[in-house]
Amino acid sequence: MNVLSLFDGISCGQVALNRAGIKYDNYFASEINERAINITQKNFPATIQLGNVEDIDVADLPQIDLLIGGSPCQGFSLAGNQLNFDDPRSRLFFEYANMKTQLAPKYFLLENNRMKQEYQNVITDILGVEPIKINSSLLCAQNRARLYWTNIPTTVPEDKGNFLREIVGDYEGIWVYPRGWNKGGLQHYNWKSPTITTSSWEHNFFVVQNG
């Protein structure tokens, strides 16, 4: 099986395939962030890096059986400026759509943020399937609701009941640094944590332990 992962990041697609026990012959990756590429090649040295998604020539690729990707979400995010397809990053979705049309993979999967219905409908019309909404909080201790467009038979998983306290221990709250609309400060999460991200900021948040 040949896999093409667009916007591959640190190749979590390979992590998922391996955990699911799905065998593949070649894993082609499109990514431009050098740090992410370095991590991928350290963990998965057989990965075939293709560079910028806008520079890929499909004629150079074999038959692709599985096309996956999470096109940049900044333009769609309800927490951002919501430039949607006017944001050049989120407009890269059309590169994914073009690849799907040209390569005609047996299976495909696209992940993205929640967004305004009108833009969600654009993606749905182009890909030909309705998205499935899954919150990662069903499987881990983090709230991260995302949309998945796929022709792979999929069901929403049951809640495994994982909470942040089970991972970091008992805590008073989470100190969140100001970011955008988020005013920051000590916030109390007794159920699931907010989205945990890595970033270029010196600080993101830290857990305040009891006592």
Among the listed residues 29, 64, 66, 73, the single catalytic one is 73
Tell me whether residue 73 is one of the annotated catalytic residues: yes
Contacts of 205 (CB under 8 A, 6+ apart): 174, 175, 176, 177, 194, 196
Strand, helix or coil for residue 78: coil
Helix, strand or coil for residue 174?
strand
Specify the residue for token string 């499909």: 58
Cβ atoms within 10 Å, residue 37: 19
Cβ–Cβ under 8 Å, residues 179 and 201: yes
Active site residues: 73
